[in-house]
């Protein structure tokens, strides 16, 4: 057995358990030992029965005197046992586990952990954790003999999935870890790790800690490693990019660029102007641009893409723009055509359902002065004529989805690649796209609000630009937490909105009811309820991720054409939906979303000059939930909300939307600014010696292994 051994090959796992382990993204021995507990049950108080107090959580060692099942009149089963440790006797009760009488017999010696209760004049232990008191109960190298895996001491509780309990995971890790520890080599140089717990000790103490102090030190070491490798990878990539990648400088005709910007139907914001200047500087360097552009929904990222494509075209080079969904790709296609084609810049679409061909594609060419133009062209300031495309050349700007990665598409003279919502693409997909061009400039865009600390850590290989200003005249979306008692009033208001000719989104967290989240609104159930009981006279549509692409497109088209008044949907609308007539966003189960995601959903409305609204419904009105949700009533900056989410909920919520193709945080937190700074300093020191990590071959091999593991299959 070694770190790369597949779990499916180990005794006692097999295909059934292997399938469940994959739900937790656990495939190898290395995955399993790096599956860390998120808390511990404290069963470290070992006592005799005679010394116990009501309400105490204790561990007892003794003998089962008797055990039996008792069937109640309601069909439930109680398993009742009498337990004695020599100092006294108590009653143990388990609920609905009748099989225990087959596993536990009178005379068996057990170690049990749980909370002491009183039932009448009897001392009881209800539903305790148990294991046999045998010489093998201890795990030797991991814990002192006599302390159990499941009882006694601090007991790890892990992230679980259906059919895999913490008890099962704990047992497997206890069997694997002693055999693998000696094969683990700490790749961290001594001058970095000298103040940290050694890696072997950290792995041992995180799973089976001697005490809370050792558990904290283990967590600190493993969290350091996670953030260290993220920063090492990104900073090393950045250094290699700057050192090896060379490209031709792009020239910028300031007069033509100013003419293009002035022709836009709106004035750029100060934030957009700043980003344009940053991009212009990048494009005039011999090192290819590698920039991340972050901005709220509706902040004007697409026009930045158009300006970048315009500059690229002025240098006789093509631009490729990749979006995660067809909805978003077609939206960009239409917008870019409107801005670019009047300047003779061809824009094509290339998705799974639609690809440009020489037969069906038309291009727009600017008229020379004095040529006759149509009335519409004169009115809009666009003097163009359209002609059939009869050659084999490709458009100047190609907008598409994953289809752009196809081998059938081999664009020539690509100078700029733009990826929208880049966190939704894997590392290998971005690499494939980059391979279609020779040293292209790279601009990635996201509407996901990422705190600067997180962005600089996770995307340290990219330069960061931020549009932190909304276009002039854009009204804020009035946002309200709606308690249950005011839900009916909200529905009446929504009916009025529809009568006024506007449309509504209603978002639910799930597609179908789940056994683990039975209280969540399911989109199908909610759709039927709203259609039958709340809005019987209105036209409702249903949209979710499990619809076939053609079905999804049909629903969206109906909504765009105002054939649907209310679109009931999952958060699939978060990206790419641009319906200016939609004026209300209703979010069910709002507590299940992070503040950043709620803000992005809210951004689907407020896209016209009319006042728009967001109503936040929750399934619980606990004060902590309501106070968190109410932040959206006062804060309209995505970045500020993301920073707040980071403080309230840690990095998990933010990271969940950024995980694709990047690093997975299991134990560290982006809110730990001190640790981030500490790892950044350590990385800078190592890379200052050698970008290739020549002095540290074990560290280089570890980094290479981690980078391969984050690549999508």
Q: Are 671 and 614 in contact (CB under 8 A)?
A: no
pLDDT digits 0-9 by tens, 572-583: 665 567 788 999
Q: What is the pLDDT of residue 521?
A: 56
Residues 6+ away with beta carbon under 8 Å from 453: 646, 670, 673, 676
Higher-confidence residue: 586 or 331?
586
Q: Are 245 and 288 in contact (CB under 8 A)?
A: yes
Give CA–CA dist 387/157, Å, rounded. Answer: 67
**Residue 684: enclosing H or E segment and its boundaries?**
helix 673-689
Residues 6+ away with beta carbon under 8 Å from 360: none
Give the 3-state secondary structure of residue 303: helix
The terminus-to-terminus CA distance of the chain in angstroms comes to: 24
Does residue 515 have a pLDDT over 70?
A: no
Average of per-residue pLDDT across 228-237: 89
pLDDT digits 0-9 by tens, 6-41: 999 988 898 889 989 988 889 999 999 999 999 999
Band of residue 328 on the pLDDT scale cut at 50, 70, 90: confident
Burial class for 712, CB neighbours closer than 10 Å (0-12, 13-18, 19+): exposed
Q: How far is CA 204 from the centre of its chain?
A: 29
Burial 524-536 (b: 16+ CB within 10 A, else e): bebbeebbeebbe
Average of per-residue pLDDT across 43-68: 93
Q: Residue ranges of the domains in the chain?
A: 40-157, 254-285+300-356+393-446, 478-635
pLDDT digits 0-9 by tens, 470-499: 877 778 899 999 999 999 999 999 999 999
Does residue 392 have a pLDDT over 80?
A: no
Give CA–CA dist 175/35, Å, rounded. Answer: 14
Give CA–CA dist 680/468, Å, rounded. Answer: 26
Q: Are 10 and 16 in contact (CB under 8 A)?
A: no
DSSP string, 98-112: TTHHHH--TT-EEEE
Q: Which CATH superfamily is domain 40-157 in?
A: Nucleic acid-binding proteins (2.40.50.140)
Is this prediction's pTM over 0.95? no
Higher-confidence residue: 632 or 73?
632
Return the structure tokens found at 483: 């308690």
Return the residue matching tokens 């093998």. Answer: 136
Q: What is the pLDDT of residue 93?
A: 94
Beta strand segments in 100-208, E: 109-119, 122-126, 129-132, 153-157
Return the structure tokens found at 581: 């007539």
Band of residue 62 on the pLDDT scale cut at 50, 70, 90: very high
Does residue 77 have a pLDDT over 90?
A: yes
Residues 6+ away with beta carbon under 8 Å from 124: 90, 91, 92, 93, 116, 117, 118
User: Where is average pLDDT lowest: 38-47, 148-157, 653-662?
Assistant: 653-662
The correct CATH number of 254-285+300-356+393-446 out of 3.50.30.10, 3.40.50.10140, 1.10.760.10, 3.40.50.300 is 3.40.50.300
The rounded mean pLDDT for the chain is 84
Residues found in the chain: 713
Rg value, the chain, Cα: 30
Does residue 65 have a pLDDT over 60?
A: yes
Return the structure tokens found at 357: 């061909």
Higher-confidence residue: 279 or 428?
279
Task: Please tell me the class of the 478-635 domain.
Answer: alpha beta
Q: What is the pLDDT of residue 685?
A: 92
Neighbours of 566 (CB within 10 A): 26
**Residue 67: enclosing H or E segment and its boundaries?**
strand 57-71
Q: Please state the φ and ψ torsions of residue 263, each to the nearest 5 degrees.
A: -80, -10
Give CA–CA dist 32/21, Å, rounded. Answer: 9
User: Where is average pLDDT lowest: 20-24, 190-194, 454-458, 609-613?
Assistant: 454-458
Band of residue 85 on the pLDDT scale cut at 50, 70, 90: very high
CA nearest neighbour of 449 among 268, 636, 303: 636
Q: What is the pLDDT of residue 385?
A: 38
Query: Are domains 254-285+300-356+393-446 and 478-635 of this chain identical in fold?
Result: yes
Give the 3-state secondary structure of residue 380: helix
Q: What is the pLDDT of residue 54?
A: 93
Q: Where does 460-522 have alpha helices with state H?
A: 487-499
Band of residue 427 on the pLDDT scale cut at 50, 70, 90: low
Taking 3-state DSSP, the helix, strand and coil percentages for the chain, each rounded to the nearest 5, stand at 40, 20, 40
pLDDT digits 0-9 by tens, 345-383: 999 998 877 776 543 443 333 333 334 434 334 333 333
Return the structure tokens found at 236: 């090393």
Average of per-residue pLDDT across 188-208: 93
Q: What is the signed CA dihedral for 297, 303, 306, 310, rounded to 10 degrees?
A: -160
User: Where is average pLDDT lowest: 164-178, 363-377, 596-610?
Assistant: 363-377
Does residue 311 have a pLDDT over 80?
A: yes
Higher-confidence residue: 638 or 139?
638
Q: Please state the φ and ψ torsions of residue 319, each to the nearest 5 degrees.
A: -125, 135
């Amino acid at each position: 057995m070694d770190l790369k051994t597949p779990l499916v090959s180990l005794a006692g796992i097999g295909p059934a358990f292997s399938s469940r382990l994959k739900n937790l993204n656990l495939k190898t021995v290395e995955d399993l030992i790096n599956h860390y507990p998120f808390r511990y049950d404290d069963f470290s108080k070992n006592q005799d029965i005679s010394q116990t107090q009501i309400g105490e959580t204790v561990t007892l060692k003794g003998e089962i005197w008797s055990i039996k099942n008792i069937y109640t009149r309601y069909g439930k089963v109680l398993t009742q046992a009498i337990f004695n440790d020599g100092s006294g006797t108590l009653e143990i009760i388990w609920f609905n586990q009748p099989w225990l009488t087959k596993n536990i017999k009178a005379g068996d010696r057990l170690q049990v952990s749980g909370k002491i209760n009183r039932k009448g004049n009897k001392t009881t232990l209800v539903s305790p954790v148990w294991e046999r008191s045998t010489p093998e109960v201890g795990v030797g190298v991991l814990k002192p003999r006599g302390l159990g895996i499941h009882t006694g001491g601090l007991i790890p509780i892990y992230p679980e999935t259906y059919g895999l309990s913490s008890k099962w995971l704990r047992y497997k890790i206890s069997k694997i870890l002693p055999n693998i520890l000696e094969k683990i080599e700490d790749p961290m140089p001594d001058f970095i790790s000298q103040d940290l717990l050694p890696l072997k000790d950290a792995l041992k103490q995180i799973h089976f800690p001697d005490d809370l102090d050792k558990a904290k030190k283990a967590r600190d070491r493993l969290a350091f490693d996670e953030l260290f490798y993220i920063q090492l990878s990104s900073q090393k990539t950045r250094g290699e990019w700057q050192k090896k990648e060379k490209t031709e400088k792009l020239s910028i005709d300031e007069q033509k660029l100013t003419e293009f910007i002035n022709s836009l139907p709106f004035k750029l914001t100060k934030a957009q102007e700043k980003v344009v200047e940053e991009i212009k500087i990048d494009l005039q360097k011999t090192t290819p641009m590698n920039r991340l552009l972050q901005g709220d929904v509706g902040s004007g990222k697409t026009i930045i893409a158009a300006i970048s494509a315009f500059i690229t075209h002025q240098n006789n080079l093509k631009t490729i723009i990749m979006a995660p969904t067809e909805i978003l790709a077609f939206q960009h296609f239409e917008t870019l055509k409107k801005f670019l084609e009047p300047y003779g810049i061809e824009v094509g679409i290339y998705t799974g359902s639609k690809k440009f061909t020489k037969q069906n594609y038309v291009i727009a060419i600017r008229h020379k002065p004095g040529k006759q133009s149509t009335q519409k062209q004169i009115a809009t300031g666009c003097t163009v004529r359209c002609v059939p495309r009869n050659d084999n050349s490709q458009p100047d700007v190609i907008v598409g989805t994953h289809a752009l990665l196809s081998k059938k598409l081999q664009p020539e003279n690509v100078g700029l690649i733009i990826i929208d919502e880049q966190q939704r693409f894997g590392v290998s997909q971005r690499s494939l796209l980059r391979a279609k061009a020779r040293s292209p400039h790279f601009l990635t865009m996201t509407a996901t609000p990422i705190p600067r600390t997180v962005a600089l850590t996770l995307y340290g290989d990219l330069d960061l630009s931020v549009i932190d200003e909304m276009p002039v005249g854009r009204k804020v979306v009035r946002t309200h937490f709606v308690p249950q008692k005011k839900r009916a009033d909200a529905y009446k208001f929504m009916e009025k909105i529809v009568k006024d000719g506007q449309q509504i989104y209603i978002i639910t967290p799930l597609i179908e009811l789940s056994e683990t989240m039975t209280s969540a609104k399911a989109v199908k159930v909610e759709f039927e309820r709203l259609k039958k009981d709340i809005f019987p006279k209105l036209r409702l549509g249903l949209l979710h991720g499990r619809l076939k692409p053609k079905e999804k497109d049909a629903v969206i088209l109906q909504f765009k054409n105002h054939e649907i008044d209310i679109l009931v949907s999952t958060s699939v609308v978060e990206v790419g939906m641009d319906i200016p007539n939609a004026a209300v966003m209703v979010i069910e189960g709002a507590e299940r979303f992070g503040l950043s995601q709620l803000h992005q959903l809210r951004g689907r409305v407020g896209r016209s000059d009319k006042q728009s609204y967001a109503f936040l419904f929750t399934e619980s009105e606990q004060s902590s939930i309501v106070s968190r949700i109410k932040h959206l009533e006062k804060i309209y900056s995505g970045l500020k909300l993301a920073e707040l989410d980071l403080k309230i909920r840690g990095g998990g919520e933010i990271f969940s939307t950024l995980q694709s193709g990047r690093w997975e945080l299991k134990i560290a937190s982006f809110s730990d600014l001190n640790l981030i700074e500490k790892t950044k300093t350590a990385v800078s020191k190592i890379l200052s010696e050698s970008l290739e990590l020549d002095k540290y071959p074990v560290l280089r091999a570890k980094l290479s292994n981690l980078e391969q593991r984050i690549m999508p299959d």
